[in-house]
């Protein structure tokens, strides 16, 4: 749910590297498709930068020279395999993300690369670097081979969409024993309705509310002795001061981490700060 730097690799160079060991006559067919790969990458990046990939026509991302199956093999057999000619590029893209955390959910470790537009429907983009997003296994699975038909249903793309400049992830504290939290999207007023819906779609389709809620319980429980000491020093004021420090630490990394949203909600909870932190 936050932006990361786009891979510096050139689409044509990556494609040529991946097909460099292909056998004839497939190699000549793939070489003939190089200009198509270059154009497909350019058209995809133009659409991704404006959140309009739903307008792309799948037929335009199929080659006149190479079969779909061979283009898809360019990723599966010529990039992912441990001894594949493109494996070093795969690893460079996958390992470039700070702290190895999936940018799609902001929580789980990266397991591999996901095609922003699936290679099944857009085979010319099978090894286009800007179409390959490091992500966790769960986000990859939840996205499946989905292709948006509406602008509101276009998943956020970490290379092109920066929604972490504004705080939009919010939490509510469940005043119970044990204490819990729920999470939701609260789009800033200056966002367009389409952007707000895209963030909501991303949040819902990847099941992030449940993911964050499941993690929040143990985080709150772990805070109990820290909050007890803070309360002993200066009552609810001491608890809030301690929580602010925790929140600021999280906000330094990302505005919309679930932990930052959780600490915001705890700070606002009179119930929690006056003693609700005790399980």
Per-residue pLDDT tens over the stretch 163-180: 999 999 999 999 998 999
Q: Are residues 27 and 115 in the same domain?
A: yes
* 137 and 24 fall within a common domain: yes
pLDDT of 138 reads 96
Strand-strand pairing, 132-135 and 169-174 = unpaired
- Indicate whether 3 belongs to any domain: no
The count of other CB atoms within 10 Å of the CB of residue 76 is 14
Q: Both 132 and 193 in a single domain?
A: no
Tens digit of each residue's pLDDT (9 = 90 or more) over 98-138: 899 999 999 999 999 999 999 999 999 999 999 999 999 99
Residues 145 and 176 in one domain: no
What's the domain count of the chain? 2
- Pair 113, 202 in one domain: no
SS (H, E, C) the chain: CCCCCCCCCCHHHHHHHHCCCCCCCHHHHHHHCHHHHHHHHHHHHHHHCCCCHHHCCHHHHCCCCCCHHHHHHHHHHHHHCCCCCCHHHHHHHHHCCHHHECCCCCCCECCEEEECCCCCCCHHHCCCHHHEEEECHHHHHHHCCCCCCCHHHCCCCCCCCCCCCCCCEEEEEECCCCCEEEEEECCCCCCCHHHHHHHHHHHHHCCHHHHHHHHHHHHHHHHHHHHHHHHHHHHHHHHHHHHHHHHHHHHHHCCCCHHHHHHHHHHHCHHHHHHHCCC
Distance between CA atoms of residues 199 and 237, nearest Å = 35
In a domain, 175, yes or no: yes
Asked if 63 and 141 sit in the same domain, the reply is yes
5 part of a folded domain: no
In this structure, the answer to whether residues 194 and 145 fall within a common structural domain is no
Q: Does pLDDT of 279 surpass 80?
A: no
| Residue 157 lies inside a defined structural domain of this protein | no
Burial (CB < 10 A; 0-12, 13-18, 19+), residue 112, is middle
Residue that has been written with the tokens 């509310």 in this structure:
209
- Asked, for residue 2, whether it belongs to a domain, the answer is no
Residues 34 and 70 in one domain: yes
β-bridge partners, 172: 182
Does residue 68 share a domain with residue 138? yes
Average pLDDT for 254-278: 96
pLDDT at position 145? 78
Q: What is the pTM of this model?
A: 0.95
Q: Give me the pLDDT at residue 143, please.
A: 85
Considering the domain architecture, whether residues 142 and 60 belong to the same structural domain is answered as yes
Average pLDDT over residues 150-175: 97
Q: Tokens for 253, please give them.
A: 């990394």
The band of 152, judged by pLDDT with boundaries at 50, 70 and 90, is very high
Asked, for residue 162, whether it belongs to a domain, the answer is no
Quick one: 31 and 128 in the same domain?
Answer: yes
Residue 164 lies inside a defined structural domain of this protein: no
CA–CA gap between residue 136 and residue 144 (Å, rounded): 13
Q: Is residue 108 part of a domain?
A: yes
Helices 11-18 & 68-75 angle (0-180, nearest 10): 100
**Among residues 91, 120, 149, which one ends one of the domains?**
149
- Please compute the mean of the pLDDT values over residues 256-271 and round it to a whole number: 97
Label the pairing between strands 132-135 and 112-115. Answer: antiparallel
Of 101, 120, 149, which residue constitutes the final position of a domain?
A: 149
Q: What is the pLDDT of residue 98?
A: 85
Inform me whether the pLDDT recorded for 264 exceeds 80: yes
Do 176 and 141 share a structural domain? no
Residue-level pLDDT at 1? 78
Instruction: Work out the angle at residue 128's Cα, subtended by the Cα atoms of residues 68 and 54, and round it to the nearest 5 degrees.
Output: 75
> Considering the chain, what is the average pLDDT of its residues?
96
User: What domain range is 200 assigned to?
Assistant: 169-278
């Amino acid at each position: 749910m936050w932006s990361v730097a786009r891979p510096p690799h050139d689409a044509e160079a990556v494609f040529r590297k991946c097909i460099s060991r292909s056998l004839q006559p497939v190699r000549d067919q793939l070489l003939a498709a190089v200009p198509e790969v270059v154009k497909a990458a350019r058209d995809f990046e133009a659409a991704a930068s404006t959140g309009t990939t739903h307008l792309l026509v799948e037929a335009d991302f199929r080659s006149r020279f190479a079969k779909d199956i061979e283009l898809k093999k360019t990723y599966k057999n010529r990039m992912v395999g441990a001894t594949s000619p493109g494996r070093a590029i795969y690893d460079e893209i996958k390992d470039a993300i700070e702290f190895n955390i999936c940018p799609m959910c902001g929580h789980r470790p990266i397991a591999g690369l996901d095609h922003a537009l699936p290679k099944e429907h857009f085979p010319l983009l099978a090894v286009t670097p800007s179409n390959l997003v490091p992500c966790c296994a769960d986000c990859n699975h939840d996205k499946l081979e989905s292709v948006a038909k509406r602008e509101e249903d276009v998943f956020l793309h970490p290379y092109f969409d920066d929604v972490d400049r504004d705080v939009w992830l919010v939490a509510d504290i469940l005043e119970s024993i044990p204490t819990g939290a729920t999470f939701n999207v609260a789009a800033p007023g200056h966002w367009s309705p389409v952007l707000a819906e895209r963030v909501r779609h991303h949040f819902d389709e990847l099941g992030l509310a449940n993911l964050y809620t499941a993690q929040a319980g143990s985080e709150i429980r772990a805070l109990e002795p820290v909050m007890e000491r803070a309360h002993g020093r200066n009552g609810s004021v001491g608890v809030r001061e301690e929580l602010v420090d925790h929140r600021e630490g999280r906000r330094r990394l990302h505005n919309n981490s679930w932990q930052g949203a959780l600490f915001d909600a705890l700070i606002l909870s009179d119930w929690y700060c006056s003693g609700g932190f005790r399980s």
